[in-house]
Amino acid sequence: MAEAERIIGTPDIPEAEGHEGAEPEKAAAGGSPEAVEPDGQDAGAAEDGDGSTVVDRSPATRRRRIILLFCVAVLAYLLDLGSKMLVVAKLEHQEPIEIFGDWLRLDAIRNAGAAFGLGEAFTIIFTIIAATVIVVIARLARKLYSLPWAIALGLLLGGALGNLTDRIFRAPGVFEGAVVDFIAPAHFAVFNLADSAIVCGGILIVLLSFKGLDPDGTVHKD
């Protein structure tokens, strides 16, 4: 019997061949099963038909971005408000404080215009613009999924709220109040931390727009 089996040979088993060939097929298909998400979706960003990169737009992601936006806004607002309260209490009607000689000083002034002392004759108009910016940011937050946009909008919101608070509550009257400015670089207009937050947020938005990144997280590669 053993001699007959040696001569005839062991018959081929298709099931064994299929099992042995399964692992190379998996390797050729792109890696181990652990690299694939349970629902079959790629863990990273995907691309749609027009070449745009699409990110996770789950409700949890939107909530995190909105929380980040308001955290940045609150931080910018509190820093601006605290600095203005300190300046009014300690620096207003006093001699300017030199930080770097004539290059940078702290000099408290009241500004009825826009950022950097521009347009003092249009205080009410600038108040309306600031309020409009806040409303627009609140509307954009409903479709916010981008982290950089959350930071940029948070800076804008915090800065707008900081200066709007001065417009409403400071003299000479409601919606006509003068903004407290105190950062005085040489050969430049005097400004405050709210102005800085607005400018930084605006610059970041311009950069994001040049890169093709939308507030909803879509990246346009064209």
| Rounded-to-integer distance, Cα 52 and Cα 56, Å | 13
| Rounded-to-integer distance, Cα 113 and Cα 129, Å | 12
| Rounded-to-integer distance, Cα 29 and Cα 34, Å | 13
H-assigned helices in the chain:
2-8, 14-20, 22-29, 59-90, 123-140, 147-169, 193-210
Catalytic residue among 181, 214, 216, 222: 181
The answer to whether 150 and 144 are in contact (CB under 8 A) is: yes
In this structure, are strands 46-47 and 97-98 parallel, antiparallel, or unpaired?
Answer: unpaired
Catalytic residue among 107, 166, 195, 216: 195
Q: Give buried/exposed letters for 64-91 (b at 16+ CB in 10 A, else e).
A: ebbebbbebbeebbebbbebbeebeeeb
Q: Which two tokens stand for residue 218?
A: 């879509």
Q: Which two tokens stand for residue 203?
A: 């610059």
Please say if 195 is a catalytic residue: yes
Q: Which two tokens stand for residue 121?
A: 């004759």
Q: Which residues are catalytic?
A: 181, 195
